[in-house]
């Protein structure tokens, strides 16, 4: 995971070395804009033979490998977590947001990613489901606020 804004920081040698050591290397070049991304989606998938788990701070087009398999990228930012956390905290009148609430929000988000989406190489649900995702996250936050005795409503 990198947010250096140094384009090309993730070199071919570095990524290939990661791919030698783990089955599914996690590569998250999160810097914006794309010119500042530490590597491109195409590089990450090519240098790992399509085995990486990839998400970026900037949008990238899908990557088609030589065998015809297409990998779709995920854009990683706070647009999935924060609306649901805010909704949940507002609905239950949470006195504060705890680390545990953020954890259950992240877990709820992960549970919203369908298997077929993961198989395409994505790590977040499609943006078209953001309302349903926010709803599930809000419920998780409300339940946690109640467990922690922080809900006032």
> What does the pLDDT read at residue 1?
65
How many Å from the N-terminal Cα to the C-terminal Cα in the chain? Answer: 38
> What does the pLDDT read at residue 11?
94
> What does the pLDDT read at residue 34?
85
pTM (predicted TM-score): 0.73
DSSP 8-class letter at 79? T
Token duo for residue 47: 């240098």
Q: Where are the beta strands (DSSP E) in the chain?
A: 26-27, 53-56, 63-64, 70-71, 74-75
Question: pLDDT tens digits for the chain (153 residues)?
Answer: 666 777 889 999 999 999 999 999 999 998 888 888 899 999 999 999 999 999 998 889 999 999 999 998 888 877 889 999 999 999 999 999 999 999 999 999 999 999 988 887 788 888 889 999 999 999 999 999 999 999 999
Interatomic CA distance for residues 99 and 113, integer angstroms: 22
- Cβ pair 94, 101 in contact under 8 A: yes
């Amino acid at each position: 995971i990198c947010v250096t804004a140094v384009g090309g920081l993730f070199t071919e040698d570095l990524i290939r070395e990661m791919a030698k050591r783990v089955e599914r290397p996690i590569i998250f070049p999160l810097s914006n804009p794309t010119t500042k991304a530490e590597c491109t989606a195409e590089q990450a998938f090519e240098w790992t033979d399509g085995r990486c788990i990839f998400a970026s701070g900037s949008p990238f087009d899908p990557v088609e490998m030589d065998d015809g398999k297409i990998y779709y990228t995920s854009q990683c930012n706070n647009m999935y977590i924060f609306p649901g956390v805010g909704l949940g905290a507002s609905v239950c009148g949470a006195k504060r947001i705890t680390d545990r609430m953020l954890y259950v929000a992240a877990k709820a988000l992960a549970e919203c990613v369908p298997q077929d989406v993961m198989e395409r190489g994505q790590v977040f649900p499609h943006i078209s489901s953001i309302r349903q995702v926010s709803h599930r996250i809000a419920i998780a936050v409300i339940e946690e606020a109640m467990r922690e005795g922080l809900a006032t409503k």
